[in-house]
Chains A and B, each alone.
Chain A
């Protein structure tokens, strides 16, 4: 099914179109969400939410962008909302920990193993994913889409709704910040 036909079939609510959409995009959505959130259940939840959002708003889809760009946009938006909620939760956990509550600060050490990483790179990638969590959201998104999802800067720009030079700038700052965070980490954990 071509993209236009697929969109028409989706807006008609045909189930086989959703099946095809799922086959085409579920791994991309799940991989993006998993790399950003670093939590399997949350990533699955986001994947489902993205499909529900597509189902809800496919009738309003404008053909000025490709279907994949639109899907990445929805995924990024859902992940950003989730990250904001997570950060608020962490702040609350930190404050309660100051007052003697036994709540441990979650994710205060490298913990996440991406299933697609080569075995010999597992330990280093854990540290990298840990550092990625410390980046500002927009840098983390740009880095994830470009380096893990393998999108071009133009595709990242479309997904984030910014210009290509803005993506280049985000990537430069993300690299700088990661280097800084990693040097601190390795100094502490010799």
Chain B
């Protein structure tokens, strides 16, 4: 009886002698990659609408800058009078009358 029991135990212990390796599901790779990607900080995705809004804002900003630079330049520029107006100004300053002559 004891011998019989020992035989069964030996048989049980030897039942995994020629065991083959269990194979992982091929779908496991995809799931593992998905998990790995979740570990990364989430990338920021810009939609087309957001990109267009950014571009328009940038164009607006650049144009505003250009306009303000032109305005500033024009304010500092010495006023260019026409030749006739300059003569008029000189006549008034030196002779006290308006020069109505037409040459």
Contact = CB atoms under 8 A, between A and B. Distances in A.
A binds B: yes
A124 B9 CA distance: 9
A117 B9 contact: no
Contacts of A34: 22
B39 A27 contact: no
Interface in B40-97: none
A166 interface: no
Contacts of A72: none
Interface string B1-26: 00001001101110110111111110
B12 A148 contact: no
B29 interface: yes
Interface residues of B, number: 24
A76 interface: no
Nearest to B25: A44
Contacts of A175: 13
A116 B35 contact: no
Which residue among B25, B32, B39 has the maximum number of chain A CB atoms within 10 Å of its CB? Answer: B32
A44 B12 contact: no
Contacts of B31: 44, 48
Interface in A1-56: 15, 18-19, 22, 26-31, 34-35, 43-44, 47-49, 51-52, 55-56
Given A18-B36, A26-B29, A128-B15, 19 more contacts: A15-B33, A19-B29, A22-B29, A26-B24, A27-B24, A31-B23, A48-B31, A51-B32, A52-B35, A116-B19, A116-B22, A118-B18, A125-B16, A128-B13, A148-B16, A149-B21, A175-B13, A183-B5, A186-B5
